[in-house]
Amino acid sequence: MTNNSSNIPNEPLARVTNLTAAYQDRVVLENVSLDVIPGEILVILGTSGCGKTTLLKHFIGLMKPAEGNVELFGEDWWLLDEPERESIIQRIGVLFQNGALLGSRSMGANVAVPLEQHTNLPDTVIDRVVKMKLRKVGLRGMEKLLPSELSGGMRKRAALARAMALDPPLIFCDEPSAGLDPATTYNLDRLLLDLRDNLGLTMVVVTHETASIRRIADRIAFLDEGKLIFTGPLEDALTTDIEPVSEFFKMAGESVNS
Ligand SMILES: Nc1ncnc2c1ncn2[C@@H]1O[C@H](COP(=O)(O)OP(=O)(O)O)[C@@H](O)[C@H]1O
Ligand SMILES: [Mg+2]
């Protein structure tokens, strides 16, 4: 059921190479190279304003690099034509912090959006897919409710169902647990792990929550002042001497909220 994307088994699903990112003249990422490996949950860390969201925007083709390359499923994004981009867009799910649900549309109608935009499926089939996706995120039977009738955690899960509507093998999440309480965050993390383990999804997740990081991260990429200063397995991130990384985990360990 997963449309397993890349032809060569361990070829990265996404890759930025020597990426320099800028808003007008202001450089916010410098010479960043990072691969997304099939089947992993890659967690992007770094203090607020260090460029995490900017990096995600480059991975999904929303921002054009000032320098460097972006590849998705082995294709150089900025060399593709429109139809090729469209076909790749359908293989990426995005759960952005501010990518809110449409307030006037029911949960089901929200999840249906990508199916209406990118497929010619008849309504009856769309309804069936929507029900299936909502069930997958633990929202069975809630398709008629408005986003305002649900809790923050349920809205997040509905947004995830929408991101998964087209069965993308690769999902990008920007601070999915921002504003959620610890128990809700725990449940969302279980869901992400379930998607990785049972659907083989690959995920790139930006989060600050240490508890979350320890639960879900296979690998960490740590940004500091626009530079990628660490990439490696979670265990290595927890024991590294690289100062901003060790400081991050030390401070997080001392914080009551984490
Ligand atoms: N649209 C924009 N125009 C100008 N500067 C921006 C814009 N978006 C973000 N920035 C700046 O780029 C830097 C990185 O931002 P961002 O990627 O959002 O950081 P993070 O997600 O790590 O908090 C910040 O200094 C931010 O102020
Ligand atoms: Mg951000």
Q: Which residues of 28-44 are buried (b: 16+ CB within 10 A; e: fewer)?
A: bbbebebbbebebbbbb
CB 195 within 8 A of CB 157: no
Task: Please tell me the predicted confidence (pLDDT) of residue 229.
Answer: 98
Mutating to test ligand 1, I would choose from 16, 43, 54 the residue with most ligand atoms within 8 A of its C-beta, which is 54
**Which atom of ligand 1 lies nearest, measured to the CA of 54?**
17
User: 5 pLDDT exceeds 60?
Assistant: no
Residue 52, ligand 1, Cβ within 6 A: yes
Are 40 and 202 in contact, with CB atoms under 8 Å apart?
A: yes
- Ligand 1 atom closest to the Cα of residue 226 is 14
The amino acid that residue 109 corresponds to is: A
Please tell me the distance between residue 135's alpha carbon and the centre of ligand 2 in angstroms.
Answer: 29
Residue 204 confidence (pLDDT): 98
Residue 253 has pLDDT above 80, yes or no: no
Ligand 1 pocket, residue 53 CB under 6 Å: yes
Mean model confidence pLDDT for the chain? 92
Instruction: State the pLDDT at residue 10.
Output: 75
Q: What is the pLDDT of residues 81-98, one digit of tens each?
A: 999 999 999 999 999 876
Best mutation site among 16, 24, 50 for ligand 1, i.e. most ligand atoms within 8 A of its Cβ? 50
Question: Is the confidence at residue 124, as pLDDT, over 70?
Answer: yes
Could you tell me the pLDDT band of residue 257, with boundaries at 50, 70 and 90? very low
pLDDT digits (tens, 9 = 90+) for 148-166: 999 888 998 999 999 999 9
- Burial grade of 140 (CB within 10 A; 0-12, 13-18, 19 or more): exposed
Q: What count of other Cβ atoms lies within 10 Å of the Cβ of residue 62? A: 12
What's the per-residue H, E or C state across 118-174?
HCCCCHHHHHHHHHHHHHHCCCCCCCCCCHHHCCHHHHHHHHHHHHCCCCCCEEEEE
Among 50-54, 76-80, 98-102, where is mean pLDDT lowest? 98-102
- Ranges of each domain in the chain: 1-91+168-258, 102-167
* Atom 5 of ligand 1, residue of closest alpha carbon: 23
Nearest to 207 by CA among 226, 192, 228, 227: 192
- pLDDT at residue 258 greater than cutoff 50: no
Looking at domain 1-91+168-258, its CATH architecture is: 3-Layer(aba) Sandwich (3.40)
Query: How, if at all, do strands 41-45 and 202-206 pair?
Result: parallel
Instruction: Tell me the mean pLDDT in the region 4-21.
Output: 81
Whether the per-residue pLDDT at 131 is higher than 90: the answer is: yes
- 193: CB partners within 8 A, 6+ apart: 41, 215, 216
Residue 191 has pLDDT above 60, yes or no: yes
What are the beta bridge partners of residue 41? Answer: 203
What's residue 178's pLDDT? 86
Name which residue sits closest to atom 9 of ligand 1, judged by CA.
Answer: 54
- Residue 4 in this model has a pLDDT that exceeds 60: no
For residue 49, the ligand closest to its alpha carbon is: 1
Is the pLDDT reported for residue 2 higher than 70?
no
The pLDDT of residue 100: 76
pTM over 0.75, yes/no = yes
What percent of the chain is predicted at pLDDT more than 90?
A: 82
